[in-house]
Amino acid sequence: MQSLELVPSLLISMLVTFIALAVVINSWRQRRLLPTLLYVLTIGCFSAMVIDLLLDQIYMPFRNWGLVVNGHQLWVSNLLLTLFIVGGFISWYFAIMYSQYDTPPTKLSILVAFLSGGALVGELVKGNWSNYLPLVIEVVAFAILIAVIVQYYRRIIRTTTDRSARRVVSFYFLGFVIWISAGPIGLIIASLSGIPWWVGNLWTVPYTLGLLLVSITVAQNPRLLFISEARPLDFIVLDSQGVLVFSHRFHDYPGSMDSELVGSAISGIISLMKELLASGESLQRIDHGDVKILLEHGADITCLLVVTIATSRFRQSLQAALVEFETTYRKHLHSEHSLSTGFLPFKARAEEIFL
């Protein structure tokens, strides 16, 4: 329904959305990680959503652009709006998941994919049976996303001890919660019978305030976009013969061993697994009690990262560290190195890459 009263607030929302998009793109350019890329896609979808809503209010040809499907009128603006909202929802969900895990929980991810497909079907296939399908899906989808955000916050705040850092993290997640509350207001409450039109239009207020709060906190600390309770513990580099050439410990932890002993043990495991695994395959991860050991194999070295929880961020960072180490120290690796002091400058880089 056209509502010119909504245009000023939509313009403000669009401006804030573009600011947020610039902030997350800048964060992604600094650290090209999967979670930051997914946040770029998330806010990109919501930017397109706001533009769609604005055009629907002020540009009549766009508003009247429609198709007939199964004898029912299908408005292109509504179809695009559904695509943008579903795309934003999926990207947002997986951005949160990949910030916490190397592989997202399978069952919940399948449910999210099913709900997203159902939302599109409800918009494309018009019929009496599908009248309430979008509303039901929206209720379930927002409930899942809010629960995921709250659970994510509780996991992060437990491991954040510094008071100022806790305050920043809390503001960041508060922005998310305020931002997502725009969905239930604009999509669920507004569609209920007997609700005044102006109540449904209030969604722009939490949308703008929440996104602005997220933008401010991320601008101050871009690492918030991939914040996690996971911690790196040890970074170890073995040469092609399985000899330890570099190690760096980030944190002491229960059950930790000397890096050379760890390197020797892992080298033996790698040799054994090469014989057991099919041709062309290599060992990628070892679960050892409360820690996980991620492995990446290069032409001259094998890099190991001991972490508390395996996440996509650590996997990508380990891949980047391997390439950088091989490129920087190729000459040292082809000489009699044996824990050469020439590798010591990489300790500072390891801190920058993994922390």
Q: Where do the structural domains in the chain lie, given as residue ranges? A: 4-226, 232-354
DSSP secondary structure code for residue 181 in this structure = T
Query: Is 280 a residue whose pLDDT tops 80?
Result: no
Q: At what angle do helices 106-124 and 133-158 cross, to 10 degrees?
A: 150
| Region 3-21 average pLDDT | 88
Q: At residue 190, what is the residue type?
A: A
pLDDT in the model for residue 50: 92
Comparing 3-17, 214-228, 255-269, 299-313, which segment has the lowest mean pLDDT? 255-269
Q: What is the pLDDT of residues 28-67, one digit of tens each?
A: 998 889 999 999 999 999 999 999 988 888 887 777 787 7
Percent of the chain scoring above 70 in pLDDT: 84
What's the mean per-residue pLDDT of the chain?
83
pLDDT of residue 264: 64
Determine the Cα–Cα distance for residues 294 and 311; give it in Å rounded to an integer: 10
**Whole-number Å distance between alpha carbons of 51 and 45:** 10
CATH of domain 232-354: 3.30.450.70
Which H or E run includes 95?
Answer: helix 76-100
Query: Looking at residue 44, what is its pLDDT?
Result: 95
Mean pLDDT of 148-168: 88
pTM listed for this prediction: 0.81
What pLDDT sits at residue 211? 94
From the list 222, 162, 210, the residue with the least C-alpha distance to 185 is 210
Residue 103 has pLDDT above 70, yes or no: yes
Residue 134 backbone class (left: φ over 0; alpha: ψ -120 to 50; beta: rest): alpha
Q: 3-class DSSP state for residue 142?
A: helix
Which amino acid would we find at residue 8?
Answer: P
- 305: nearest Cα among 216, 227, 234, 214: 234
| First and final C-alpha spacing in the chain | 49
| pLDDT at residue 320 in the model | 94
Is residue 173 very low, low, confident or very high in pLDDT (cuts 50, 70, 90)? very high
pLDDT recorded at residue 303: 92
Q: Radius of gyration (Cα) for the chain, nearest Å?
A: 25
Q: Which CATH architecture has domain 4-226?
A: Up-down Bundle (1.20)
Band (90; pLDDT cuts 50, 70, 90): very high
